[in-house]
Structure 1
């Protein structure tokens, strides 16, 4: 039997979920860079619109610059919940002696206020995750991961709001100019 400590398996799964969320966040930060050029100026679109400036005549047009970031939805993703199901056979229980971890005892009170936890005898159970299932052969793991959209962070919302305030008419011209 290939035994895996249950707590090690749970720590590994929790670590995988934390790592997945970190990668989602990294991808979202990288995506934010798509809205800026190589000199970190906001990318924008220029729209030609009939002029509404005072003194404008028929046919006059305004060039309106709008940064792209405030024009697109900026919903972020985060992991909402994870459900992990697996088949395994229970192995033997193990009692771990604290001295086996190299813990001798704390002599200085300031050394660690949580040091007493290292003196606690730990009990663990081993799992055989390669155990055969009656219906599908080897042990099976099912992972369900659900993500949800969340509002943008305060920083992204402020940036988009500031960029929105910079948009506007930057030139008016008449046909034939």
Structure 2
């Protein structure tokens, strides 16, 4: 049967794709974080003029208040919650495969619990599917969820929040 693939290889490919998807989410989040800093790695900030709350301020005095942008916006960290993949396939041949022929990067004897016995492999035809569902039809559902910011991000946000405040008071009257 042409076009067959081992079930192990299919599962490894799916697992690798999920890991790559999570990695892309994390890279996007890091790039988004970097957007809140200038070319010199200083936080971009918003400078506001607010009525002064200083008890010694004269009527009409204003404070220049600086706030880092990152401390003003919600930071939504995402991660893959779960992945569901369903497909129909035809089973192919079932064969005994010696451990060294498994095609893995590490030798079978390097893994804990490896007994050196031949493994049974199952081949499938991923292009087969029931009539009406289409050629090699696969259904993939991936859900992401919001999660708490990692400790490093929480510390950064806390530090940035502590840097915001009045930088100068002026009389505009």
Partner of 2:85: 84
Aligned length: 167
Partner of 1:131: 128
Question: CA–CA distance in 1 between the matches of 2:164 and 2:100?
Answer: 67
- Tell me the alpha carbon deviations over residues 9-65 of structure 1, each in whole angstroms, 9 at most, x when there is no partner: 000000000010011101101111011111111111011111112321111111100
Partner of 2:141: 144
Partner of 1:26: 27
Partner of 1:156: 153
Partner of 1:56: 57
> Aligned-residue CA RMSD in angstroms?
1.9
Q: Identify the range of structure 1 (57-66 vs 116-125) with the bigger mean alpha-carbon deviation.
A: 116-125
For 2:92, what is the secondary structure of its paired residue? strand
CA deviation after TM superposition for structure 1 residue 137, in Å: 3.2
CA deviation after TM superposition for structure 1 residue 113, in Å: 6.1
Question: Normalization by structure 1: what TM-score?
Answer: 0.87
**Runs of 4 or more above 2 Å deviation:** 97-102, 112-116
Partner of 1:74: 75
Partner of 1:37: 38
For 2:152, what is the secondary structure of its paired residue? helix
